[in-house]
């Protein structure tokens, strides 16, 4: 018991010191350090504009989550139940949208679906100048497409990792009892997958709820969410007390949602005897299965096409394809103080991402163990641990600056502040991927090992770790990805010498001109390549028998 | 042999909220003894095992092993073995990994682990299975791997929680014999939990009857059969001649008025019962003798007359259902020539010796 | 599990130790906080460092607004000595919050009066630029259009769905253009700036939160469907400078309507509580000198305020408007939030 109490201290301390404390610090500062004044809340809740934004934020996030699940589940099925050549690579590519800077993704959509994009040009070439044109820019449609595009990999990764170890016997016995494929999925597979589905849905919902960039870049300012309102109030209008009030409202709203979500997820968990992947994937495949597989892969390539369009643009010049833009990245023609070679930028990104990943794995794993411990408070703690995903980069960034600004702890200008900021948004992924597996693990496995003479630590290393490893790797993948792609906090907190790839892309796109765009796309291509390579490497990670789970 | 028990449970209590899971259980197990905990599902057998293993805490009471109180000793340091009902084989390890797990935890050198695992696999008749994956094994093979895994670290006490529960009857019966001979061969002290009386009788040196968290009766199988302590035990043992009655006289013997007539039992009535009290009469079905004619007065027993209702042949025995008065009596007798002519509808006389009668207080509720 | 905890705690402790060790106090260090659009040559910074035997640290803190908010939050305990990047739209707030020390450089006599935007002497102007509409040449010629000569034309059918602007609540050029429309149409006239914006909205104007979003995803030059974008007078020059193939003239052009372009002046100030005040003053002098002033135009695409500083040759494509909107920093400081609110009511709600 003492060990487990000790275990609880680590992640709670991390959350307290690096999240709650800065948050309280900035909010206290926003309200002038005095007693909490209800005035700003009345202003907000009495203003239909802000109420409208709150309402819009809530419903668009719910609908986006639904669409994302629709898009993600078939792909999850593909990766869970089928083996095919190039699977690891395709899986790595699947997750790329998640890490791309929003503006780069927006350019991908434009390159594909814009007026001069590949699709509309193709339509004109096929059907002549008066061919029907696809016009989805700046509509609500594209917001939902973009959210689904951004977040479907969360569903794919988390659900497929769980699905892959789910015994096909459940489905087979359902089939033997006369259920058709759809019925089997609806009544057997889906309920069994629910813990994992809830896990991913929680993350998708938060990301859609707080999404700053993607909605605005693709949808225009009229689709502003609460995040934008907070930025606007803080930075442009400098009404910190109202921004603070809105941040509190946002936190309270999402906390309530998170609490409900996490409770439902906890209830949906049933211990399921997991089986080795080999036992799942070696089943015979029918022709119908093959058609389904090919269909889903084709659909996946369609989803990924905006990114492919970007790569195409990155290597094209007026003289056809050439690496011009990539070469240009390596020269500092103007002798700028802020120039950093792509190698250094990539190295920065990788080391920050690795550091964030390690911290996220430690904190996330320990936190997940706290949450699965039986007790009525587990949902309260679970939702609390998810909050860093909710609070905007602006709020938290300024919180850090206010909280850690005096010796002995002056983190301003240190790269650590960045790694901590990244870890805070990375570890919730580790928690969410681990929970279904931890809750699904038959308790007898641990007890059996204990009775056979294994101490709790050795039970963890020899029995639990190999079984949760697969999920841990998925969590690590996302932790890595989140850090690789983050730039809100990075821009706010970091010195030039610590510039990361997204920061470099952002700088390049800060100025007009073809060369800037070309180099930004080249940098984006490098980002995709580095991240894909990282994913494949993490995916290839094998430790003893870890592969099967 | 010094018969101090190796495992001793004294007044063990465990409750979940208001309900008792384990109620004042005391139990002694001798070295090398094979004890079966028998009782219906949900009676607390498994909880008791888990408490002994240290996986669950108890509210009060003491458990000592080999004279040492095990309170505060973690499960992994107790040196006991527990085979779970669902086996809990590690799905990420092969057979070798599973069986060798406990040995590796003891820090045994890998050469010796190899030898011991092979030895254990030979013992359970799975000599060339060491590199099989768990998901490739059949149910019976898994059972034997789990047994080998539990035995490999040479536990001082082995507990088995319905280990054969999920198997079909034929396989189960053959494994029962195997398990008993393996356990006896090693000489390990073992506690075996089951709800199947046949299994308990096939395996146990001692059967401990558990009901609603309490030990109802403990003893060698034959003793239980001969004198079940409660109606529940009697019913669980499959006894059928359970006849309600009322004590009409109690002096050197006890006379009971029942639906089948007046019965006479030897000795004195159960604790605290006297004339006029309701009582449950159990008549040992194998202790009766039947004949188409009166036996005449042979000893203290009484003779009932009835009509054969049905007759079933079971191996070398006949099971004869006889309607007596307003009730029914079942008698089991060897199928010999004398009875071969009896058929349904025949009048019959049943002789009930006093030693074939057990009196129990009627069950509450 | 214990090990996990131990590792976690150790990491936390290590983080703190390393973080504390990070707090090096160099004697002659000058920390300059800027926004992320700031750019200068390494050689220029080195020149200053060598001349003053000092180390310069440039710290970027998000966009101009975020950098200012950070400086305000750090008031009294600044992480930097200088804040570069306060423009005439933010000046009022910076002065209200009293984050700057007073300093007036001798070199200010080389700066034309029109750019000396802080009469209180706290913020020294360094550069300026103009926010105005850019158009895409090819798009206009293909569709037989000529660039508009008045803002009113933008509400006509020719320019239906043609303009993308930035949100004044989130973007500097967006705010600059809003202020220009206030100057152009007035606030109380029969047809005031809000009427204009209402008509623009009816004419399907698109609002984006940031310049990069608008320019690189909606401007027709880069694959969008809008040939008009709110940008800078130097943008066509930048297009020329950053062209991939040698070209005669830029593919975009400036629309310089009288009273409808906004002059954005940007300056630098010494933060109260700065460690190296003398060095900071020297840097301000240095930043007004021609070495510095001539270095940044082809990096930040802004004009130097020092009248003796030469601009690069390609700045011929960065025409200077003959009659920019005249609206003072003080008035902006007073009314800015109100304009943004009104604008938001009309355009976004």
Whether residue A206 has pLDDT greater than 60 = yes
User: Which of A22, A44, A512 to mutate against chain C (most C CBs within 10 Å)?
Assistant: A512
Q: Give the whole-angstrom CA distance, residue B237 versus residue B101.
A: 39
Residue pair C155/C199 in contact (Cβ under 8 Å)? The answer is yes
Rounded Cα–Cα distance for residues C153 and C139 (Å): 17
Report the residue of chain A nearest B151, measured CA to CA. Answer: A452
Give the model's confidence band at C41: pLDDT under 50 very low, under 70 low, under 90 confident, else very high. very high
What pLDDT shows up at residue B115?
93
User: Are B27 and B5 contacting, i.e. CB atoms less than 8 angstroms apart?
Assistant: no
| Whole-angstrom distance, CA of residue C133 vs CA of residue C155 | 14
The pLDDT score that the predictor gives to residue A184 is 78
Is residue A545 over pLDDT 60? no
pTM of this structure: 0.80
Mean pLDDT for B229-236 is 83
> Lowest-confidence range among B35-49, C37-51, C180-194, C251-265?
B35-49
Helix (H), strand (E) at residue A58: helix A48-81
Tell me the three state secondary structure of residue C89: coil
Supply the angle between the helices A501-508 and A465-485 in degrees, to the nearest 10: 20
CA distance A56 to A62: 10
Closest residue of chain C to A138, computed from CA coordinates? C206
* Strand residue runs (E) in chain B: 7-16, 19-29, 34-38, 60-65, 68-69, 80-83, 157-161, 189-194, 206-211, 214-219, 242-250, 253-258, 261-266, 278-283, 289-291, 302-314, 317-324, 327-334, 347-352, 357-360
- The strand pair at C206-208 and C163-166 is best described as parallel
Binned at pLDDT 50, 70 and 90, residue C18 comes out as very low
Chain A residues whose CB is inside 8 A of the C39 CB are: 334, 336-338
Three-state SS for B158?
Answer: strand
Neighbour tally for B23: CB within 10 Å: 17
Interface of C with A in 212-241 (CB under 8 A): 212-213, 215-218, 220, 222-225, 231-232, 235, 238-239, 241
pLDDT at A308 > cutoff 70: yes
Q: What does the pLDDT read at residue B52?
A: 93
Confidence class of residue A427 from pLDDT cuts 50, 70 and 90?
A: very high
Nearest to A441 by CA among A430, A451, A449: A449
Chosen for mutation from A448, A469, A545, A549 (greatest number of chain B CBs closer than 10 Å) is A448
β-pair partners for C263? C130
The 3-state secondary structure of A98-159 reads HHCCHHHHHHHHHHHHCCCCHHHHHHHHHHCCCCCCCCCCCCHHHHHHHHHHHHHHHHHHHH
C24 has a pLDDT exceeding 50: no
Give the DSSP H or E segment for A266. Answer: helix A240-268
Q: What is the pLDDT of residue B355?
A: 82
Q: Hey, are the CB atoms on B80 and A451 less than 8 Å from each other?
A: yes
Kind and range of the H or E run holding C101: none
Closest residue, chain A, to B101 (C-alpha): A452
User: Exposure of C47 by Cβ count < 10 A (0-12 exposed, 13-18 middle, 19+ buried)?
Assistant: middle
Residue from the list B84, B86, B105 with its beta carbon closest to the beta carbon of A453: B105
ipTM (interface pTM): 0.85
Give A-chain residues touching B133 at CB under 8 angstroms.
276, 278-279
Residues of chain A contacting B132 with CB distance shorter than 8 Å: none
Say yes or no for a CB contact (<8 Å) between A450 and B153.
no
Using the Cβ of A472 and the Cβ atoms of chain B, whether some distance falls under 8 Å is answered with: no
State percent of chain A over pLDDT 90.
12
Q: CA–CA separation, A168 vs B330, rounded Å?
A: 50
Show which subunits contact C, needing at least 3 CB pairs below 8 angstroms: A
Task: Classify strands A405-406 and A409-410 as parallel, antiparallel or unpaired.
Answer: antiparallel
Name the percent of chain C in helix, strand, coil, to the closest 5: 45, 20, 35
| Interface contact flag, A278 B149, Cβ < 8 Å | no
Residue with tokens 């906004």: C262
Chain B nearest CA to A162, separation (Å): 15
Query: Average pLDDT of A213-238?
Result: 71
B86: closest chain A residue by CA? A444
Smallest CA-to-CA distance from A245 within A382, A50, A12, A6 is with A50
The yes-or-no verdict on residue A321 having pLDDT over 50 is yes
Which domains are seen in chain C, by residue range?
A: 2-128+265-313 (3.40.190.10), 130-263+320-347 (3.40.190.10)
Nearest by CB to residue B153, choosing from A278, A453, A459, is A453
Candidates C17, C30, C63, C244, partner chain A, best to mutate (most A CBs within 10 A): C244
- Any bridge partners for residue B352, and if so which? B302
Q: How far is A28 from chain B (nearest CA, A)?
A: 44
Which residues, 6 or more positions from C276, have their beta carbon under 8 angstroms from its beta carbon? C28, C29, C30, C54, C81
Out of A374-378, A527-531, B286-290, least confident range: A374-378
Query: Per-residue pLDDT for A274 more than 70?
Result: no
Whether A232 sits inside 8 A of C169 (CB atoms) is yes
Q: How many CB atoms lie within 10 A of CB B194?
A: 24
Q: CA-based Rg of chain A, rounded to a whole angstrom? A: 24
**What tokens were used for B331?**
């008698």
Cα dist. C277→A45, A77, C49, C91 in Å?
45, 64, 15, 21
Round to whole Å and give the CA distance between A510 and C299.
11
More confidently predicted of C274 and A319: C274
| Crossing angle of helices B139-151 and B169-186, rounded to 10° | 20
**Residues on chain B touching A451 (C-beta within 8 angstroms):** 53, 55, 75-76, 78, 80-82
Any A CB within 8 A of C58 CB = yes
User: What does the alpha-carbon distance between residue C154 and residue C136 come to, in Å, rounded to a whole number?
Assistant: 15
Residue contact C222–A405, C-beta within 8 A = no
> Which residues does chain A have within 8 Å of residue B79's beta carbon, measured at their own beta carbons?
453
pLDDT score for A493 = 75
Report residue A546's pLDDT band, with 50, 70 and 90 as the boundaries: very low
By C-alpha distance, which of A104, A82, A84 is closest to A149?
A: A104
Two structure tokens written together for C150: 């008045």
* Average confidence score pLDDT of chain C: 89
| 8 Å CB contact of B81 and A451 | yes
Are A57 and A225 a contacting pair, CB within 8 Å? yes
Residue B156 Cα, gap to closest chain A Cα (Å): 12
- Alpha-carbon gap, residue A268 to A439, rounded angstroms: 10
Distance CA A369, CA A358 (A): 17
Q: A182-186, A236-240, B241-245, C310-314 — which one is most confidently predicted on average?
A: C310-314
Give one word for B109, left, alpha or beta, with left for phi > 0 and alpha for psi -120 to 50: beta
Per-residue confidence (pLDDT) for residue A35, from 0 to 100: 56
What tens digit of pLDDT does each residue of A68-89 get?
Answer: 999 999 999 888 888 888 888 8
Q: Scanning every residue of chain B, which has its alpha carbon at the shortest distance from the alpha carbon of A279?
A: B135
pLDDT tens-digit map of A457-512: 888 888 888 888 888 888 888 899 889 988 777 777 777 788 889 888 988 888 88
- Delineate the domains of chain A, giving CATH numbers in brackets: 325-392+412-549 (1.10.3720.10)
What's the mean pLDDT in C236-245? 92
Start-to-end CA distance of chain C, whole Å, equals 53
Q: Do the Cβ atoms of C212 and A410 come within 8 Å?
A: no
Q: Is C315 at the interface with chain A, CB within 8 A?
A: no
Is the pLDDT confidence value at A132 over 70? Answer: no
Residue-wise pLDDT tens digits, A322-377: 888 898 888 888 788 888 888 999 999 999 999 999 999 999 999 998 888 877 67
Question: Contact B106/A549, CB-based, under 8 Å?
Answer: no
Chain B residues in contact with A447 by the CB 8 A cut-off are 50, 53, 55, 75, 82, 84, 88
* Residue A270 clears pLDDT 70, i.e. is over it: no
């Amino acid at each position: 018991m003492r060990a487990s109490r000790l275990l609880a201290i680590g992640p709670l301390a991390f959350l307290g010191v690096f999240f709650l404390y800065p948050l309280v610090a900035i909010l206290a500062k926003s309200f002038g350090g005095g007693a909490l004044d209800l005035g700003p809340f009345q202003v907000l809740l009495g203003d239909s504009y802000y109420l409208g934004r709150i309402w819009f934020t809530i419903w668009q996030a719910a609908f986006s989550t639904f669409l994302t699940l629709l898009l993600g589940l078939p792909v999850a099925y593909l990766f869970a139940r089928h083996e095919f050549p190039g699977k690891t690579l395709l899986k790595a590519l699947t997750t790329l949208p998640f890490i791309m800077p929003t503006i780069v993704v927006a350019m991908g959509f434009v390159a594909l679906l814009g007026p001069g994009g590949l699709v509309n040009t193709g339509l004109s070439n096929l059907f002549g100048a008066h061919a029907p044109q696809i016009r989805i820019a700046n509509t609500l449609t594209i917001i939902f497409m973009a959210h689904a595009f951004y977040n479907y990999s969360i569903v794919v990764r988390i659900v497929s990792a769980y699905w892959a170890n789910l015994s096909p016997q459940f489905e087979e016995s359902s089939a033997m009892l006369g259920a058709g494929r759809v019925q089997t999925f609806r009544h057997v597979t889906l309920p069994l997958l629910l813990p994992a589905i809830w896990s991913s849905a929680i993350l998708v919902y938060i990301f859609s709820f707080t999404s700053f960039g993607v909605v605005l870049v693709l949808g225009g300012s009229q689709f502003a969410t609460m995040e934008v309102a907070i930025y606007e109030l803080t930075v442009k209008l400098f009404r910190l007390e109202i921004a603070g009030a809105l941040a509190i409202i946002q936190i309270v709203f999402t906390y309530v949602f998170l609490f409900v979500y996490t409770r439902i997820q906890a209830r949906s968990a049933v211990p399921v005897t997991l089986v080795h992947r080999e036992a799942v994937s070696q089943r015979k495949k029918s022709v119908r299965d093959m058609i389904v597989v090919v269909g889903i892969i084709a659909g996946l390539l369609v989803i990924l096409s905006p990114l492919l369009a970007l790569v195409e643009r990155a290597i094209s010049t007026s003289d056809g394809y050439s690496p011009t833009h990539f070469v240009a990245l390596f020269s500092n023609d103007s002798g700028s103080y802020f120039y950093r070679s792509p190698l250094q930028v990539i190295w920065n990104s990788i080391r920050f991402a690795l550091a964030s990943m390690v911290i996220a794995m430690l904190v996330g794993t320990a936190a997940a163990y706290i949450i699965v411990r039986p007790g009525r408070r587990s949902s309260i703690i679970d939702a609390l641990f998810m909050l860093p995903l909710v609070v905007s980069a602006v709020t938290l960034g300024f919180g850090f600056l206010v909280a850690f600004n005096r010796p002995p702890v002056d983190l301003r200008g240190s790269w650590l502040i960045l790694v901590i900021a990244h870890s805070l948004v990375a570890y919730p992924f580790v928690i969410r991927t681990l929970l279904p597996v931890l809750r699904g693990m038959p308790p007898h496995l641990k007890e059996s090992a204990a009775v056979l003479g294994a101490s709790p630590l050795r039970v963890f290393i020899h029995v639990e770790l190999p079984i949760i490893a697969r999920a841990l790797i998925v969590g690590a993948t996302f932790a890595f990805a989140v850090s690789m792609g983050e730039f809100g906090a990075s821009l706010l907190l970091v010195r030039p010498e610590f510039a990361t790839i997204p920061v470099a892309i952002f700088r390049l796109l800060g100025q007009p001109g073809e060369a800037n765009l070309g180099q930004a796309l080249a940098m984006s291509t490098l980002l995709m390549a580095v991240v894909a390579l990282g994913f494949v490497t993490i995916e290839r990670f094998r430790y003893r028998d870890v592969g099967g789970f | 042999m010094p018969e101090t028990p190796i495992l001793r449970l004294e007044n063990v209590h465990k409750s979940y909220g208001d309900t008792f899971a384990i109620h004042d259980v005391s139990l002694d197990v001798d070295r090398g003894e094979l004890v079966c905990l028998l009782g219906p599902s949900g009676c607390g057998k498994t909880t008791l095992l888990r408490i002994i293993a240290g996986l669950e805490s108890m509210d009060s009471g003491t458990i000592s092993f080999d004279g040492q109180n095990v309170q505060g000793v973690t499960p992994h340091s107790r040196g006991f073995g527990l085979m779970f009902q669902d086996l809990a084989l590690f799905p990420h390890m092969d057979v070798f990994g599973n069986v060798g797990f406990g040995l590796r935890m003891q820090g045994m050198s890998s050469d010796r682990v190899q030898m011991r695992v092979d030895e254990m696999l030979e013992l359970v008749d799975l000599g060339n299975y060491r590199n099989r994956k768990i998901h490739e094994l059949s149910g019976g093979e898994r059972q034997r791997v789990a047994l080998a895994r539990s035995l490999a670290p040479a536990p001082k006490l082995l507990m088995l929680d319905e280990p054969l529960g999920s198997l079909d009857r034929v396989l189960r019966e053959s494994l029962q014999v195997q398990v008993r001979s393996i356990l006896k061969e090693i000489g390990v002290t073992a506690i075996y939990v089951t709800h199947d009386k046949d299994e308990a009788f096939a395996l146990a040196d001692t059967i401990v009857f558990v009901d609603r968290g309490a030990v109802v009766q403990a003893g060698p199988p034959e003793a239980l059969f001969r004198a079940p302590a409660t109606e529940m035990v009697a019913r669980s043992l499959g006894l059928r001649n359970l006849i309600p009655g009322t004590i009409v006289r109690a002096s050197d013997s006890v006379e009971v008025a029942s639906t089948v007539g007046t019965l006479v039992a030897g000795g004195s009535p159960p604790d605290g019962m006297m004339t006029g009290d309701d009582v449950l009469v159990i008549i040992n079905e194998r202790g009766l003798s039947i004949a188409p004619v009166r036996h005449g007065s042979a000893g203290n027993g009484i003779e009932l007359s009835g009509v054969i209702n049905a007759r079933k042949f079971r191996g070398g025995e006949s099971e004869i259902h006889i309607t007596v008065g307003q009730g029914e009596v079942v008698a089991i007798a060897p199928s010999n020539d004398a009875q071969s002519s009896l058929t349904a509808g025949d009048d019959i006389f049943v002789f009930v010796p006093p030693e074939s009668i057990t009196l129990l207080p009627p069950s509450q509720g | 599990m214990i090990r996990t905890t131990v590792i976690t705690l150790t990491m936390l402790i290590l983080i703190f130790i390393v973080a504390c060790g990070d707090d090096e106090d160099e004697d002659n260090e000058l920390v300059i906080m800027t926004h992320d659009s700031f750019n200068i040559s390494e050689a220029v910074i080195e020149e200053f460092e060598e001349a003053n035997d000092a180390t310069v640290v440039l710290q970027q803190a998000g966009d101009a607004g975020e950098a200012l908010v950070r400086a305000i939050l750090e008031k009294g305990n600044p992480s930097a000595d200088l804040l570069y990047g306060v423009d005439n739209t933010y000046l009022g707030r910076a002065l209200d919050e009293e984050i700057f020390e007073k300093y007036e450089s001798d070199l200010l006599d080389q700066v034309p009066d029109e750019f000396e935007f802080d009469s209180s002497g706290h913020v020294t102007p360094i550069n300026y630029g103009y926010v105005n509409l850019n158009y895409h040449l090819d798009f206009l010629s293909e569709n037989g259009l000529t660039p508009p000569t008045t803002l009113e034309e933008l509400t006509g059918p020719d320019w239906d769905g043609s303009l993308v602007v930035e949100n004044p609540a989130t973007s500097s050029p967006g705010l600059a253009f809003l202020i220009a429309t206030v100057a152009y149409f007035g606030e109380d006239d029969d047809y005031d700036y809000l009427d204009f914006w209402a008509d623009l909205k009816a004419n399907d104007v698109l609002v984006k939160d940031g310049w990069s979003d608008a320019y690189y995803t909606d401007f027709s030059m880069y694959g969008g469907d809008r040939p008009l974008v709110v940008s800078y007078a130097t943008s066509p020059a930048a297009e020329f400078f950053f062209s991939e193939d040698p070209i005669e003239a830029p593919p975009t052009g400036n629309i310089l309507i009288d009273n409808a372009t906004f002059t954005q002046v940007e300056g630098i100030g010494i933060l109260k509580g700065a460690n190296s005040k003398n060095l900071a003053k020297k840097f301000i002098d240095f930043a007004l000198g021609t070495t510095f002033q001539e270095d940044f135009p082809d990096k930040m695409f802004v004009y130097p305020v020092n009248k003796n500083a030469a601009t690069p040759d390609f700045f011929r494509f960065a025409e200077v408007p003959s009659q920019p909107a005249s609206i003072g920093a003080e008035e902006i400081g007073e009314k800015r939030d109100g304009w943004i609110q009104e604008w938001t009511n009309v355009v976004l709600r």
